[in-house]
């Protein structure tokens, strides 16, 4: 099935086309349904009766919109892209925005009505959404009244600044989402005090300094995603999950993954499991003198951590006193919108290029994730930075979002095929990692599983799926918490901000919708619930150690270490 043709859609999104209809009202009767030819060109079909219903609804709404314009009325626009007064100050400008939204609405409705397999229909809708978002009148100087107003008021300076911003971003190879000069890792990001106590070619291990006189007997080891840098968990003191865990009386260790270069181009998933996670667990055991640890994995870090624990279980070891998984896939049955990027031809293409060695560039990964929210992470900044000539504001989370990391090709290809494409990880014994058959059900540890309600990367229902995989013989040991917001903002929600909310339900049904039906919403942060879970499994209180590491693991350098500062090539 071919992807939709952007040029044919662009003709529908062109304001000059609407102006021709305005000058010739009789032409409205012959207006075709937007997207019909587009979907036909893509090899997609819609049932005639559905198409007729959509067409009739479209013609009625378009006629009503046109009538409003002829009567000099300003249409109601409920879209934040057009919320500024400049859009409704002029009836023609307001009509331009309203007509665009109307065309977009029915084009996407047609995509949803396509007769195709669910994944193919999702691909068509995703491709159409990308083009629809790109063709917004807010994205062009000629059709954006806010940008035009700024141009006039600044006597052309806004356009000069916008061109300067655009040229600077072209040299960087990415759109600036935040003021790059406002932040520096180690100066005002990732500032929780600690020391590097282990350095390997793959990662550095940070041991954070205690902030309480006594600590829990069992330390906490955090495994962040290797797709991004760890300091999402340690942004600034006010929103640092690391600092919060330390202040709650935990001895905290954290894996800081290296940003891969050519020397790691042949690194595999087995290496990340054995030489990464398991190596870190061994080090924390040796330094703390504890056989069992509280363990936390975030996103793919949680997938890696769970894989490592299953490998150790196959060797007769159970190092987890508890396991926390934040927005983590173990069951990849529903990967949400990311599934549009993963099918057999696309995976084979990656394997041919990277499976034997090479790097998946961080910028390519960043572009993929930005395409999931193009209005928020692309076009919003095109409008502000380029059309209006504004400088991006200082925002720590978006600075982190732009700090890309590469991935080793073999590891990336294994991950794509065995999880996203074939969903083998959840099947006992289906995969062999580090020489061991993987069975996640053999991990003997109570689990705290967190999902975010608006997560577009790990749908919360998929995160809930871990409840049915871990501890099958004693599901009552597991607990699921659902937070508001998305993949990152839902996780980084400190109690001090008193924002958002979370849902809990002491029952543990297999179906996530059944869980949600009886869940109770609470205002604020879920972090205190997690802190209580750690305390429950942390053992007795013991005096805090003032020295990092030990004789076998002497401090190498202060946190955050140099690995996290390395930039993707």
Q: Which residues are catalytic?
A: 299
Compute the CA torsion angle 268, 272, 276, 278 (nearest 10 deg).
-110
DSSP letter assigned to residue 435: T
CA angle (305, 310, 315) in 5-degree steps: 125
Return all residues near 475 (Cβ < 8 A) that are at least 6 apart: 467, 508
Among the listed residues 212, 294, 213, the one whose alpha carbon sits nearest the alpha carbon of residue 254:
294
How, if at all, do strands 252-257 and 220-223 pair? parallel
DSSP letter assigned to residue 189: B
- Listing DSSP states for 235-256 in one string gives SSGGGBHHHHHHHTT--EEEEE
By three-state DSSP, how is residue 194 classified?
strand
* Beta bridge pairs of residue 408: 359
Strands across the sheet containing 501-504: 520-523, 501-504, 479-483, 447-452, 320-326, 293-298, 220-223, 252-257, 203-208, 194-199, 557-558
Among the listed residues 200, 423, 431, the one whose alpha carbon sits nearest the alpha carbon of residue 310:
431
Q: Are 328 and 452 in contact (CB under 8 A)?
A: no
Residue 28 in tokens: 């409205």
Return all residues near 214 (Cβ < 8 A) that are at least 6 apart: 249, 541, 542, 543, 544
Among the listed residues 92, 106, 134, the one whose alpha carbon sits nearest the alpha carbon of residue 50:
106
The span from the CA of 430 to the CA of 417, in Å, is: 13
- What is the sign of the dihedral through the CA atoms of 63, 66, 72 and 75? positive
CA distances, 556 to each of 21, 120, 204, 361 (Å): 71, 51, 9, 29
The span from the CA of 20 to the CA of 201, in Å, is: 64
The span from the CA of 229 to the CA of 376, in Å, is: 21
By three-state DSSP, how is residue 501 classified?
strand
């Amino acid at each position: 099935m071919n992807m939709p043709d952007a040029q044919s859609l662009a003709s529908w999104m062109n304001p000059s086309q609407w102006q021709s209809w305005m000058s010739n009202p009789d032409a409205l009767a012959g207006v075709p349904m937007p997207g019909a030819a587009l979907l036909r060109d893509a090899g997609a079909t819609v049932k005639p009766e559905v198409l007729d219903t959509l067409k009739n609804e479209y013609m009625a709404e378009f006629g009503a919109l046109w009538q409003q314009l002829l009567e000099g009325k300003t249409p109601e626009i409920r879209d934040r892209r057009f919320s500024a007064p400049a859009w409704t100050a002029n009836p023609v400008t307001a009509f331009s925005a309203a007509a665009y939204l109307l065309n977009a609405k029915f084009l996407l409705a047609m995509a949803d009505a396509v007769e195709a397999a669910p994944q193919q229909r999702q691909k068509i809708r995703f491709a159409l959404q990308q083009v629809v978002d790109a063709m917004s009148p807010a994205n062009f100087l000629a059709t954006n009244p806010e940008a035009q107003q700024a141009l006039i008021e600044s006597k052309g300076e806004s356009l000069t600044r916008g061109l300067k911003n655009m040229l600077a971003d072209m040299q960087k190879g990415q759109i600036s989402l935040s003021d790059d000069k406002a932040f520096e890792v180690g100066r005002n990001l990732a500032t929780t005090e600690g020391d590097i106590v282990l350095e390997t070619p793959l990662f550095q291990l940070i041991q954070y300094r205690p902030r309480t006189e006594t600590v829990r007997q069992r330390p906490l080891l955090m495994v962040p995603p290797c797709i991004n840098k760890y300091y999402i968990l340690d942004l600034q003191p006010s929103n640092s999950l690391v600092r919060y865990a330390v202040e709650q009386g935990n001895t905290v260790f954290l894996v800081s993954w290296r940003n891969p270069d050519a020397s790691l181009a042949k690194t595999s998933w087995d290496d990340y499991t054995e030489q990464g996670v398991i190596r870190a667990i061994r080090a924390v055991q040796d330094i703390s003198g504890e056989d069992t640890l509280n363990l936390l994995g975030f996103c793919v870090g949680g997938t890696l951590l769970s894989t490592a624990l299953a490998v150790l279980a196959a060797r007769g070891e159970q190092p987890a006193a508890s396991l926390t998984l934040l927005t983590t896939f173990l069951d990849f049955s529903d990967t949400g919108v990311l599934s549009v990027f993963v099918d057999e031809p696309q995976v084979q293409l990656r394997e041919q290029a990277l499976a034997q060695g090479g790097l998946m560039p961080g910028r390519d990964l960043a572009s993929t994730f930005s395409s999931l929210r193009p209005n928020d992470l692309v076009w919003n900044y095109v409008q502000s930075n380029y059309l209006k000539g504004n400088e991006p504001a200082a925002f720590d989370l978006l600075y982190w979002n732009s700090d890309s990391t590469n991935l080793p090709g073999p590891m990336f290809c294994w991950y794509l095929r065995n999880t996203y494409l074939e969903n083998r990880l959840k099947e006992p014994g289906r995969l062999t990692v580090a020489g061991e058959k993987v069975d996640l059900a053999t991990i003997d540890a109570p689990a705290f599983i967190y999902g975010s309600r608006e997560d577009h990367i790990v749908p919360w229902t998929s995160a809930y799926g871990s409840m049915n995989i871990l501890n099958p013989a004693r599901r009552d040991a597991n607990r699921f918490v659902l937070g508001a917001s998305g993949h990152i903002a839902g996780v980084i929600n400190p109690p001090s901000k008193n924002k958002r909310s979370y849902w809990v339900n002491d029952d543990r049904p297999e179906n996530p919708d059944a869980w949600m039906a009886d869940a109770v919403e609470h205002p604020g942060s879920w972090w205190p619930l997690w802190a209580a879970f750690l305390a429950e499994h942390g053992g007795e209180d013991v005096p805090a150690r003032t020295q990092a590491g030990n004789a076998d693991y002497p401090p190498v350098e202060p946190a955050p270490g140099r690995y996290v500062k390395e930039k993707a090539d």
